[in-house]
Amino acid sequence: MWSDRVERIGPHVLPSLLVELVNAGRWRTPDDEDLLHAVFTDEPQSAWFYGLADMTRQNEFFHRMTPEDAFNNTGIGIDPNHAVLIGDLGADMPIALDYRTSATSPRVLYLAEPGWIEVAKDWRVD
């Protein structure tokens, strides 16, 4: 069942499906590291999919960064003013929703070597 509650991280409305998964305890780091490798093409190192409180905490500093200072601004880059960190595969390996392409269905980015890459073109909201 979908919740009527709107969750925000900074100015960004989180996709309702993500909120539902978090609230149901289903947005969690998969036990299968091969699955993570298949999706993100990197070996996870202590992967962590954030809960809502952790998303808020992780994004407090991130949203104060400039695009030039946001980790490694190579590849397609990222703008912290238009993104929300939702997890990581380890230190300096964040997973983010990128709202530059859509305010309602952000794409999913991951900081790989040598820079930010698109993991999914959009996050289907409803």
- Give residue 17's domain range: 8-120
Q: Per the domain annotation, does 126 fall within a domain? A: no
Alpha carbons 121 and 108: distance in angstroms, whole number: 7
Q: Per the domain annotation, does 125 fall within a domain? A: no
Predicted model pTM: 0.89
pLDDT band at 118 (very low <50, low <70, confident <90, very high): very high
Alpha carbons 53 and 59: distance in angstroms, whole number: 10
Amino acid, res. 83: A
Tens digits of per-residue pLDDT, 70-94?
776 667 889 999 999 999 999 889 9
Q: Per the domain annotation, does 98 fall within a domain? A: yes
For the chain, percent of residues with pLDDT exceeding 70: 90
Mean pLDDT of 45-59: 95
Q: Per the domain annotation, does 97 fall within a domain? A: yes
Residues 6+ apart with CB under 8 A from 4: none
Q: Per the domain annotation, does 26 fall within a domain? A: yes
What string of DSSP letters covers 30-99? -S-HHHHHHHHSS--SS-EE--HHHHHHHHHHHTTS-TTTSS---BT---GGGEEEEEESSTT-EEEEET
Question: Chain-wide mean pLDDT for the chain?
Answer: 88
Domain count, the chain: 1
CA count, 13 A, side-chain hemisphere, 76: 15
Residue 13 reports pLDDT greater than 60: yes
Q: Per the domain annotation, does 2 fall within a domain? A: no
Residue 57 reports pLDDT greater than 90: yes
Strand partners, 117: 110
Mean pLDDT of 22-32: 94
